[in-house]
Amino acid sequence: MIKSILTLLTFTSAFAFACPKLEGQYTCQYSDGSSDAVIISQKNENGTTVYSLGATEVIADGKTHPVDQDDLKGTYIAQCAASSVNADVTGKVYDNGQPAADVTMTIKVNKTTAGANIEQSGEFKFGADVVPFEDKAICTLN
């Protein structure tokens, strides 16, 4: 579930710049060899772009918004710059309903002719232990 949430957040944006159109069906191949089928819906509500992935909606207005999922609780802020979208996420990761780690991450999406390239980087904090991470994905528009 967390990979789906992160993927959706990577497709979010702020209205300050023209944002890339990301609506469609994608196949995302991650650097660890796994893949996900992702369907993104996109609509405009009173000048604000709203992206949807299943029942999860992301309001792309450049303001702080909550993330409230079973395995991730926190906030995100997303912004656009031409053909890219950048999001900052801060929160707690949960495992079986129990807090497992704090997380901070930056997600960058660059729109391509074939779909989008995604880069995720940040860190998990398990008490005093800090574990940095990076992940890349190539998402192809089906």
Strands, E, within 1-142: which ranges? 24-30, 35-45, 48-53, 56-60, 65-68, 72-81, 84-95, 98-111, 115-126, 129-141
| CATH code of the domain covering residue 121 | 2.40.128
Domain, as residue range, for 47? 2-141
Give the pLDDT band (50/70/90) at residue 9.
low
Query: Domain count of the chain?
Result: 1
> Stretch 97-104: mean pLDDT, rounded?
95
User: What's the pLDDT score for residue 16?
Assistant: 42
Rounded (10°) CA dihedral 87, 89, 94, 100? 130
> How far out from the chain centre does Cα 19 lie?
15
Give the pLDDT band (50/70/90) at residue 8.
low
**Which positions ≥6 away from 52 have C-beta within 8 Å?**
40, 41, 42, 43, 58
User: What's the pLDDT score for residue 57?
Assistant: 74
Task: Classify residue 55 by its DSSP letter.
Answer: T
Burial (Cβ within 10 Å: 0-12, 13-18, ≥19) of residue 28? buried
Beta strands 72-81; 84-95: pairing state: antiparallel
Give the pLDDT band (50/70/90) at residue 47.
confident
Query: How many whole angstroms separate alpha carbon 24 and alpha carbon 73?
Result: 26
pLDDT, mean over the chain: 83
- Tens of pLDDT, residue by residue over 106-136, are 988 888 999 988 899 999 999 999 999 999 9
User: What's the pLDDT score for residue 86?
Assistant: 80
